[in-house]
């Protein structure tokens, strides 16, 4: 039956992880996948998460199914975190939300709703470049994917003019994907003034915004500050959806904790939209897992754990900044590289957009392997 199935290419990011696992070099280091590591190169279980799990263990909770849209208190706390209490209060009665299978699952639900119901377009515009999986997720749901200008490789900065021009040139009421903060892969975010410009064009053109927020807290170390864009757009009543992930900011990667939300024009519209979101989720995976969402809800809802969590984010974001400074100073001072490496420290978040091409990366992988293991 499967004789005609061709071999597919390995995933660009997870493919590297597979090669990494296969390597027997003791000094190997995986710089491909976006997962935080401590000084010893190990995964980091956040103290706030450990405490929340201990508290949950004492509670002897059952393992019954969650509702289709997940654990209600989780949805409220997650969306409050994203939109901020003030904006949340003003939109709560027309906000539709659903706990999701992390950020990817939220994007998949968003794409399914858009593909099924959004008029007049089924094309989504993503930044050039963007997270590799966006294309995959959106096409799987039946959306066509195009891109707008975003990164200027010459300046290593935002091509603000190009981006705004492309937003202008799209048909009215286009679907636009925006990274809320800590843009993956470039680490280049719009400034608050540039967000205002983006907002202005989006409103004049009546575009629909799909906001992807996978790194709230990782850009500035402060979740409230990183929520600037979704708060601004929701406050201005831009028609939008938001996809949150707790993979990075709570280190809950494999627990798959996320939240999908969308802003309706009225409570009545919200009820209709929610009914359709439920039908879509029921057909995709029925209902989400409970454990990770319980951890996140516990952390967000308990003042002591929440303070601990803010410290944990501070720990991670400070270390990331320190590593950027160290990498840059080693390249410049230890290796006397004449190349301009200032983007290593000016970029934000977990990723370093090196500007290296695939051939250079292959060479690094090969040559370093030899240096470490001659
Ligand atoms: N969006 C972006 C921009 C990301 O970088 C990621 C994680 N790499 C995600 C969404 C989703 O990740 P997850 O499904 O693990 O939450």
pLDDT tens for each residue of 39-88? 888 999 999 999 999 999 999 999 999 999 999 999 999 999 999 999 99
Does a structural domain hold residue 262?
yes
Mean pLDDT, the chain, integer = 94
122 with 220, same domain?
yes
Q: Ligand 1: does its nearest atom lie under 6 Å from the Cβ of 109?
A: no
Given 303, 338, 356, which residue is the final one in a domain? 303
- In a domain? residue 188: yes
CA of 245 to the centre of ligand 1 (A): 7
Judge if 326 and 182 occupy the same domain. no
Domain, as residue range, for 232: 72-303
Does the C-beta of 247 come closer than 6 Å to ligand 1? yes
Mark whether 272 and 323 lie in a shared domain. no
Q: What is the pTM of this model?
A: 0.94
pLDDT of residue 33: 74
Our CA angle for 171, 172, 175, nearest 5°, is: 85
Is the confidence at residue 314, as pLDDT, over 60? yes
Please give the number of the atom of ligand 1 that sits closest to the Cα of 130.
3
Q: Which atom of ligand 1 is nearest to the CA of 34?
A: 8
Q: What is the pLDDT of residues 123-171, one digit of tens each?
A: 999 999 999 999 999 999 999 999 999 999 888 899 999 999 999 999 9
List pLDDT tens digits, range 256-268. Answer: 999 999 999 999 9
Q: How many domains does the chain have?
A: 2
Same domain, 220 and 269: yes
E runs forming strands in the chain: 95-101, 123-128, 144-149, 151-152, 157-158, 175-179, 208-213, 240-245, 257-263
Active-site residue identified among 212, 226, 309, 341: 212
Question: What CATH number has the domain bearing residue 196?
Answer: 3.40.640.10
What are the structure tokens assigned to 117, written together? 């119901």
Q: Are residues 237 and 110 in the same domain?
A: yes
Q: Which is the closest atom of ligand 1 to the Cα of 246? A: 16
Q: Is 131 in the pocket of ligand 1 (CB under 6 A)?
A: yes
Cα three-residue angle 299-301-305, rounded to 5 degrees: 40
Q: Is 121 within the bounds of a domain?
A: yes
Q: Which residues of 22-54 are buried (b: 16+ CB within 10 A; e: fewer)?
A: eeeeeebeeebebebeeeeeeebebebbebbee
Residue that wins the pLDDT comparison between 373 and 267: 267
Question: Is residue 39 in a domain?
Answer: yes
Indicate if ligand 1 lies below 6 Å from the C-beta of 215: no
**242 lies in the same domain as 129:** yes
ipTM above 0.95, yes or no: yes
CA of 242 to the centre of ligand 1 (A): 13
Q: Which has the higher per-residue pLDDT, 335 or 66?
A: 66
Instruction: Give yes or no: residues 262 and 351 share one domain.
Output: no
Is residue 195, in this structure, part of any structural domain at all? yes
Asked if the model's pLDDT at residue 373 lies above 70, the reply is no
- Of the candidates 51, 131, 159, 166, the residue annotated as catalytic is 131
Interval 120-125 mean pLDDT:
95
At a CB cut-off of 8 Å and minimum separation 6, what does 99 contact?
A: 66, 69, 70, 71, 74, 75, 78, 257, 258, 259, 260, 288, 293
One domain for residues 36 and 121: no
Strand ranges inside 79-215, DSSP E: 95-101, 123-128, 144-149, 151-152, 157-158, 175-179, 208-213
For residue 244 and ligand 1, the question of a CB distance below 6 A is answered with: no
């Amino acid at each position: 039956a499967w004789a005609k199935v061709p071999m597919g290419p390995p995933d660009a990011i997870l493919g590297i992880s597979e090669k990494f696992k296969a390597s027997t070099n003791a000094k190997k280091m995986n710089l491909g996948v976006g997962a935080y590591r401590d000084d010893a190169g190990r995964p980091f279980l956040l103290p706030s998460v450990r405490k929340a799990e201990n508290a949950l263990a004492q509670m002897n909770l059952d393992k019954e199914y969650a509702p289709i849209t997940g654990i209600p208190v989780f949805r409220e706390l997650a969306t409050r975190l994203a939109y901020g209490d003030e904006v949340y209060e003003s939109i709560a009665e027309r906000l539709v939300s659903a706990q999701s299978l992390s950020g990817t699952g939220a994007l998949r639900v968003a794409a399914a709703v858009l593909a099924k119901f959004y008029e007049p377009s089924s094309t989504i515009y993503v930044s050039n470049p963007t997270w590799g999986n966006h294309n995959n997720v959106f096409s799987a749901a039946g959306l066509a994917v195009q891109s707008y200008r975003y990164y200027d490789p010459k300046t290593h900065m935002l091509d603000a003019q190009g981006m705004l021009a492309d937003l202008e040139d799209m048909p009215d009421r286009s679907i636009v994907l925006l990274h809320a903060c800590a843009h993956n892969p470039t680490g280049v975010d719009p400034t608050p003034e540039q967000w205002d410009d983006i907002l202005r064009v989006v409103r004049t053109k009546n575009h629909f915004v799909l906001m992807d927020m996978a790194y709230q807290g990782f850009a500035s170390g402060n979740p409230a500050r990183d929520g600037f864009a979704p708060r601004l757009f929701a406050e201005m009543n831009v028609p939008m959806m938001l996809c949150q992930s707790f993979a990075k900011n709570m280190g809950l990667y494999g627990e798959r904790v996320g939240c999908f939300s969308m802003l309706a024009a009225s409570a009545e519209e919200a009820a209709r939209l929610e009914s359709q979101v439920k039908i879509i989720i029921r057909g995709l995976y029925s209902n989400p897992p409970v454990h990770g969402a319980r951890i996140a809800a516990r952390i967000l809802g308990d003042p002591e754990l929440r303070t601990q969590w803010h410290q944990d984010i501070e720990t991670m974001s400070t270390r990331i900044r320190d590593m950027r400074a160290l990498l840059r100073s080693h390249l410049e001072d230890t290796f006397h590289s004449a190349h301009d490496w200032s983007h290593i420290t000016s970029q934000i978040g977990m990723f370093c957009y090196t500007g290296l091409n695939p051939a250079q990366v292959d060479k690094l992988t090969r040559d370093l392997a030899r240096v470490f293991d001659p």
